[in-house]
């Protein structure tokens, strides 16, 4: 079983004498920087010249410097720019890392797939909230936590884990529980989850269901409600009480139909495909493909994005959501 750390297991004293440079002020960066600052930890935000994030960081009351300057001042450098630009940003700041400093990540991709090769005299750690950044900030302000992950890739000081836990406590993750993992496990499970289930799997399920109904002659509006809108209600029940609460809440007919038909739709073939998708994550095939795609200027990515934006369910959904104010919440 995984080890889970809570507030009592973490001591922000490990960051008392430290300055944390938060490089990037986007989804995760703004939340980490503000939460650490509110936890009494010295923070400097590192942003490139002309950064569109500078005004936000300054009006939030934080010190802003260039990534190089921020890293030079810091003992812990938290890399919170998009994964695809991290290797270039790392090249700009690597000479500012002193022996015994910490290089900190919120996702293991660049370390695990060797896109960043840190020098062997720094600690390398990961603190990854399992949530978008705006919730990391909102939860902290509400005195609530955000579940997170902690991992150590390289420990030269002997207290890399303690310091990472201090960081996790500073951003509110040990309030909710922070699971110990490795860079490899975090990276591979994160990629698999978003590809096979969360982002890829579920959107394909929705589109295929919608298309099946519309092609059989049912109205687009009915297909949208059945295959997309109601998904939220089902997922909310699973989030609150697992599969059991969901099955309990739907009708017996829905339960019997789902239990007898679900595995026919997402069947052995789907399972084999999932295993292949996982293998491509594990053997680096996916990482190489994504890195090459970026180097080429994202031609396939742009094409796929456009096709998704143009799917009929998007236009139908936009119109219907506009008619029903309850969808705003
Ligand atoms: P964002 O896309 O929100 O980061 C945007 C920030 O990065 C902005 O401040 C932007 O500044 C800066 N930036 C962008 N490009 C560059 C560049 N070329 N050079 C310098 N700065 C740049 O990132 P996320 O917060 O989404 O992701 C950060 C890390 O957190 C990633 O490792 C990600 O995997 C991880 N993570 C993200 C989660 C999420 O929900 N978003 C969840 C858990 C982990 P500018 O205004 O100058 O462009
Ligand atoms: Mg330094
Ligand atoms: Mg992810």
Indicate if the pLDDT at residue 259 is higher than 60: yes
Indicate if the pLDDT at residue 152 is higher than 60: yes
φ, ψ (nearest 5 deg) of residue 141: -65, -25
Query: Which residues lie below 8 Å from residue 136, measured CB to CB, with a gap of 6+?
Result: 28, 31, 32, 35, 129, 146, 171, 172
For residues 213 and 223, the answer to whether their CB atoms sit within 8 Å is yes
Output the pLDDT for position 326.
Answer: 61
Indicate if the pLDDT at residue 328 is higher than 90: no
Of all ligands present, the nearest one to the C-alpha of 80 is 1
Interatomic CA distance for residues 74 and 103, integer angstroms: 10
Which atom of ligand 1 has the smallest separation from the CA of 80? 28
pLDDT confidence bin for 324, thresholds 50/70/90: confident
Task: Work out the mean pLDDT of the chain and round it to a whole number.
Answer: 97
The answer, yes or no, to whether any atom of ligand 1 lies below 6 A from the CB of 29, is yes
pLDDT confidence bin for 325, thresholds 50/70/90: low
Is 249 known as a binding-site position?
no
For the stretch 124-149, pLDDT in tens is 999 999 999 999 999 999 999 999 99
Interatomic CA distance for residues 165 and 173, integer angstroms: 9
Q: How many CB atoms lie within 10 A of CB 88?
A: 10
The residue whose CA has the least distance to atom 13 of ligand 1 is 81
DSSP state of 52: T
Q: Decide: helix, strand or coil at residue 21.
A: strand
**What CATH code would you report for 4-181?**
3.40.50.720
For residue 171, the CA-to-ligand 1 centroid distance in Å is: 17
For the stretch 71-91, pLDDT in tens is 999 999 999 999 999 999 999
Is 51 known as a binding-site position?
yes
Interatomic CA distance for residues 77 and 157, integer angstroms: 15
DSSP-derived secondary structure for 108-176? -HHHHTTSS---TTSEEEEEEESS-HHHHHHHHHTT----EEEEEEE-SSS-HHHHHHHHHHHTTHHHH
pLDDT confidence bin for 119, thresholds 50/70/90: very high
For residue 84, the CA-to-ligand 1 centroid distance in Å is: 9
Indicate if the pLDDT at residue 242 is higher than 90: yes
Q: How many CB atoms lie within 10 A of CB 218?
A: 13
Q: What is the dihedral of CA 209, 212, 215, 221, to 10 degrees?
A: -30
The answer, yes or no, to whether any atom of ligand 1 lies below 6 A from the CB of 83, is yes
Ion ligand 2: residues, CB < 5 A: 98, 101
Q: Decide: helix, strand or coil at residue 64.
A: strand
The answer, yes or no, to whether any atom of ligand 1 lies below 6 A from the CB of 25, is yes
pLDDT confidence bin for 323, thresholds 50/70/90: confident
Domain with CATH 3.40.50.720 in the chain: 4-181
Separation in Å, CA 320 to CA 105, 180, 204, 222, 323 = 40, 43, 21, 11, 5
Indicate if the pLDDT at residue 329 is higher than 60: no
Interatomic CA distance for residues 62 and 54, integer angstroms: 10
161, 137, 159: which is closest to 149 by C-alpha?
161
Helix axis angle for 285-295 and 268-282, nearest 10°, is 70
Its pTM stands at: 0.94
For residue 217, the CA-to-ligand 1 centroid distance in Å is: 44
- Percent of the chain at pLDDT > 70 equals 98
Interatomic CA distance for residues 144 and 150, integer angstroms: 18
Is 53 known as a binding-site position?
yes
Tell whether ipTM is more than 0.85: yes
For the stretch 21-68, pLDDT in tens is 999 999 999 999 999 999 999 999 999 999 999 999 999 999 999 999
206, 189, 203, 192: which is closest to 151 by C-alpha?
189
Output the pLDDT for position 113.
Answer: 98
Interatomic CA distance for residues 126 and 194, integer angstroms: 19
For the stretch 211-233, pLDDT in tens is 999 999 999 999 999 999 999 99
Q: For the chain, count helices (H), then strands (E).
A: 17, 9
280-285's contacts with Cβ under 8 Å and 24+ in sequence apart are 281/188, 281/191, 281/192, 281/195, 282/188, 284/113
């Amino acid at each position: 079983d995984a080890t889970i750390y809570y507030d009592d297991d973490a001591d922000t004293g490990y960051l008392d004498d430290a300055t944390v440079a938060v490089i990037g002020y986007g989804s995760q960066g703004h939340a980490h920087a503000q939460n650490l600052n509110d936890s009494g930890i010295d923070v400097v935000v590192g942003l490139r010249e002309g950064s569109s994030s500078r005004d936000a960081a300054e009006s939030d009351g934080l010190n802003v410097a260039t990534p190089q300057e921020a890293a030079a001042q810091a003992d812990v450098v938290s890399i919170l720019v998009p994964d695809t630009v991290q290797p270039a940003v790392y090249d700009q700041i690597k000479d500012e890392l002193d022996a015994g400093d910490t290089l900190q990540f919120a996702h293991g991709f660049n370390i695990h797939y060797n896109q960043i090769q840190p020098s062997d005299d720094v600690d390398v750690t990961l603190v990854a909230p399992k949530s978008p950044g705006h919730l990391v900030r909102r939860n902290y302000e509400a005195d609530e936590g955000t579940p997170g992950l902690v991992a150590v890739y390289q420990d030269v000081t002997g207290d890399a884990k303690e310091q990472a836990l201090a960081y996790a406590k500073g951003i509110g993750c040990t309030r909710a529980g922070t699971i110990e993992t490795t860079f490899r496990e975090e990276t591979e499970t994160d990629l698999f989850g978003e590809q096979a289930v969360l982002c890829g799997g579920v959107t394909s399920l929705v589109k295929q269901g919608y298309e099946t109904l519309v092609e059989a002659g049912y109205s687009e509006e009915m297909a949208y409600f059945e295959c997309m809108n109601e998904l939220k209600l089902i997922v909310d029940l699973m989030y609150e009480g697992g599969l059991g609460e969901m099955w309990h809440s739907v009708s017996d007919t829905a339960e019997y139909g789902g239990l007898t038909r679900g595995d026919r739709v997402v069947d052995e073939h789907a399972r084999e495909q999932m295993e292949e998708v996982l293998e491509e994550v594990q053997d680096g095939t996916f990482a190489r493909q994504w890195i090459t795609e970026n180097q080429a200027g994202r031609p396939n990515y742009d094409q796929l994005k456009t096709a998704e934006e143009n799917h009929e369910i998007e236009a139908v959904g936009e119109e219907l959501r506009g008619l029903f104010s309850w969808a705003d919440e």
